[in-house]
Structure 1
C-alpha cells in the first residue's frame, strides 16, 4: 500500500508531504495506481519548482518507494499562495485515486 502523509503547519498550509510504499495493484510496470500517484506527486513538485522558483527540500529513493518534500517557510505571501494552490491540486488528485483504489493507497492528513 502507498501511504501518503500530508503535514500542515496551520489548518490551511501544507508544510510537507511524504509518500512511501508500493501500491501492489499489479506487477511492476503495469501498476496504474503507482503510476498515477507518481505522476501526480512528481508533477506537483516539478510545477512548484518551475512556476514559483521555490527551492524545495526533496528526499527520494529506496526500494520502498519514497518521496518527501518540505516547503520552506521563507517565501513571500504571494508565492506561498501559489505553492499551496499547487499542493491542494495534488491532494485533490491523490484523494480521487484513493476513492477509486482505497485498498492500495491511504492518505493521512496531519493538521
Structure 2
C-alpha cells in the first residue's frame, strides 16, 4: 500500500510531503497506481526545484520520497503542493485499497 502524508501549517500551507511504499495493485513495471502517484510526486518535486527554484530537503530512494520545505518556500510552492495533495486524494478515493492519505497540522 502507498502511504502519502501531507504536513501543513496554518497560514503557510504544506511544509512537507512524503510518499512511501508500493501499491500492490499490479506487478512492478505495470502498476498503474504506483505510476500515477510516482509521476505526480516527481512532477511536483521537479517543479518545486527546477521551475520555482526552491531548495527543499529531499530524501529519495525506491518507493520512498520525502520533501521538506522552509516556511518561505512553502508559501511560494503552495499551488504545487496543494495540487499534489488534491491529486493523490482523488487517486486514493478511486483506489481505496491501495493508497492511504494522512493530512496533519504541524
- TM-score computed with the length of structure 2 as normaliser: 0.91
1:86 aligns with 2:80: yes
Q: Tell me the residue number matched to 1:69.
A: 67
Q: Tell me the residue number matched to 1:30.
A: 30
Structure 2 regions of 5+ residues with no counterpart?
A: none
Q: Tell me the residue number matched to 2:98.
A: 104
Deviation by residue 1:36-91 (Cα, 9 ceiling, x = unmatched): 000001100101112211001000115xx111000012x3xxx6444001101111
Q: Is the 8 A contact 2:19 2:65 kept in 1?
A: yes
Structure 1 regions of 5+ residues with no counterpart?
A: none
The higher radius of gyration belongs to 1
SS in 1 for 2:28: coil
- TM-score computed with the length of structure 1 as normaliser: 0.87
Aligned length: 105
